[in-house]
Amino acid sequence: MRKRKIGAAPGALALTALTLALLGACGGGSSNSGSPASSATSSAASSSSVASAASSASSAASSSSGAASSSASSITAANACTVLASDGSTVVVGSGLAGDPAAPEAASGYRTGKTTRYAGSFMVTSASALASKAGCEILAAGGNAVDAAVAVQAVLGLTVPEATGIGGGAFMLYYDATNKTVQAYDGRETAPAAATENYLRYIDDASDQTTPKPSARASGRSIGTPGVLRMLDAAWQDHGAKPWKGLFSNAITLSTEGFQISSRLASAISGASSSLSRDAEAKAYFLNADGSGKAQGTTLKNPDYAATLSAIANSGVDAFYTGSIAQAIVDKVAQSTGEDGSVMTPGKTTLADLAGYEAKRRTAVCSTYRDYYICGMPPPSSGGIAVAQTLGILENFDLGAAANLPTSYDVEGGRPSVQGVHLISEAERLAYADRDQYVADTDFVALPGGSWSAMLDKTYLKNRANLISLSASMHTASAGSFPSSSVLAADHTPEQGTSHLTIVDKQGNVVTMTTTVESSLGSFHFTKGFILNNQLTDFSSAPADASGTPYANRVAAGKRPRSSMSPTLVFRKTSAGGMGDFVMATGSPGGSTIIQYVVKTLVASLDWGLDAQRGTNMIDFGASNSATTSLGGEHPNLDTSNSGANDSLITGLKALGHTVSTSAQASGIGSIIRMTVNGQSVLAGSTDPRREGLVLGDTVTP
């Protein structure tokens, strides 16, 4: 099987000169004496040791620190985390000056011309320029990846509240470069102690078996106990270097002084104005006096969020989970009448639910793929298992064969081939079939055999691969059979929203984290300056199918709903089949399609040799377990005119029996790859052209 270097795709265009070169600080700064003590033992991830032939990336850095080579350009601290405009002038992110990447842009669906950014020793990519700046400044001042993640999340909750916030949940993978271990952190929301299996479908199990009002999503029933802050605190207690209090300064300042509403947030507000009007605090914050949504470019100040963050900064996360903030959350969940007089079904969250919430340290799902060792998130996320299964199935095909390679390469990622999309989509159908039937919160429902080992077994995945025809789509797949599995029904509950961030620090530690309030603007409930999630709608609303066969993902008190979030770490595989040097970190928002976005990105870089940004840019494609295969119609390399009849990728898939959807996709991929360019070890970063993100770091030009 032919081997390719990351970023060295055959026929790819040479990198164009950067018109917006990112600058970062060269300076360090030691850990403050107020740093946390390490209080938990990181567990090394386990994996199958079965080796397989593969394509390989360019050499990873030999040092675990990931420090830049001596040839890297030295940048002064005065220019920390700024950008250069095309005329060479320095622009501070958030300044509002010409060339400021934080300035709102008109929504386009896809921003052309984005190219890979390179850094010498640290980098952050997120869906908000202001959030990336906050994280970059922490890294430039000597903070580590976890410190930066706290700062990034705090700002995302302000600038991207339609996707994420402290009223939601998250999953994080952390790579400790010193100990060479991977730790998974679970900050998924939980159902309240009073929840029954019918919590989302009946107002009352006995006396009122009608749907919650005005809908399950917009009622208090959808709101899970938020987990992201407890999760970040757990990771910071284990690994943080900088004082907790200082990590919120940037977000507090922005909340007080204001930020400009982006096109994406403006669109979300406009589309949800009637729902937001039911909540007095949401109405006052997001809407104008006439009930219309506040427009793109409006300066939005959030003093309530500043006060909430100040309390958390000064008193720790207990200030959120107890006291006045917790009481405000409980009161909001219990709201029974909307601001507009409408009836609202209250939720049953209590102060005890909040005070008792626990973030979980879990073992990452790790497996081998060709020359790589890849780690993902374990249940209650289905992402790690589904991504690993898809790759394990694809390992039985030569994706480097001519018929499977992209048919063209350009700065937008080129065009995947019909056969390449076919194979990957079919593999995803098989993985989703297992996901839908077997994966849920394993604290409540066990996986077949009690772990993911059976689902990732190489022989099992080879047998699944044998179900794929090269000449026709299977349309829908059946779940695999396991001798020790419970009888469960397939649950196809959709998921929405989310945001993603990826960070590498000077020591080579890595955070990849996906964070969410579920649907756009969550439950539309707003308190103390932040949106409350509607995460519980990720459960199956019914406990069983029509025949009475139970769903693994049914509601239960204290249970965490299944997710598709797929923060992913890639390492070189050692000769013994274990974890070697760090190669790549990635992830994406996108609800249940996250799995497809992450698989596309991994294959694009690891098998097809695309660099970080081109692998992100490439046409989004994939399938869940249905007859429909998606191709992102927002991409300029796809011709959707005449119902796709003029595009060979669309017509080729249809000829294989695929039902093709060209609806616009909303991935938000953020990747960082450690690679060697011209003999220099660098970090290569991307942000998705379908969203409003930015990569920042101590930039070099290798």
Q: Which residues are catalytic?
A: 498
Yes or no: say if 497 and 162 are a contact pair by the CB < 8 Å rule. yes
State the residue for tokens 């977000």: 251
Among candidate residues 600, 403, 405, 371, the one with its CA nearest the CA of residue 11: 405
Distances (CA, A) of 94 to 42, 128, 221, 672, 690: 37, 11, 38, 23, 20
Q: Which of 395, 66, 260, 265 is nearest to 691 (CA)?
A: 265
Query: The tokens of 532 are what?
Result: 């409350």
Burial class (CB in 10 A: 0-12, 13-18, 19+), 487: exposed
Strand partners, 293: 287
Name which of 569, 692, 687, 690 is nearest 123 in CA terms.
687
Q: What is the CA radius of gyration of the chain?
A: 24
**How many other CB atoms are found less than 10 A from the CB of residue 420?**
25
Which of the 8 DSSP states describes residue 618? S
User: 3-state DSSP call for residue 212?
Assistant: coil
Residue 10 CB contacts under 8 Å (≥ 6 apart), including other chains: 4, 405, 409, 609
Total residue length of the chain:
702
Beta bridge partners of 606: none
Taking Cα atoms as reference points, which of 421, 394, 420, 431 lies closest to residue 632? 421
Q: What angle do CA 367, 516, 434 make, to 5 degrees?
A: 40
213 C-beta neighbours (distance < 10 Å), count: 17
Number of H helices, E strands in the chain: 17, 22
Distance, in Å, from the CA atom of 85 to the CA atom of 74, rounded to the nearest integer, reads: 19
| Strand-pair partners of 673 | 584, 684
Residue type, 79: N
Distances (CA, A) of 47 to 13, 368, 456: 37, 7, 9
Q: Alpha-carbon dihedral of residues 81, 85, 91, 92, nearest 10 degrees?
A: -40
The Cα 261–Cα 129 span in angstroms is 12
Give the Å distances, CA to CA, from 339 to 230, 276, 282, 332: 31, 9, 10, 12
108's CB contacts (< 8 A; 6+ apart) are none
Cross-strand bridge partners of residue 554: 540
Look up residue 31 and give its amino acid.
Answer: S
Burial 324-350 (b: 16+ CB within 10 A, else e): ebbeebbebbebeebbeeeebbbbbbb
Cα 588 to Cα 566: distance, rounded to the nearest angstrom: 7
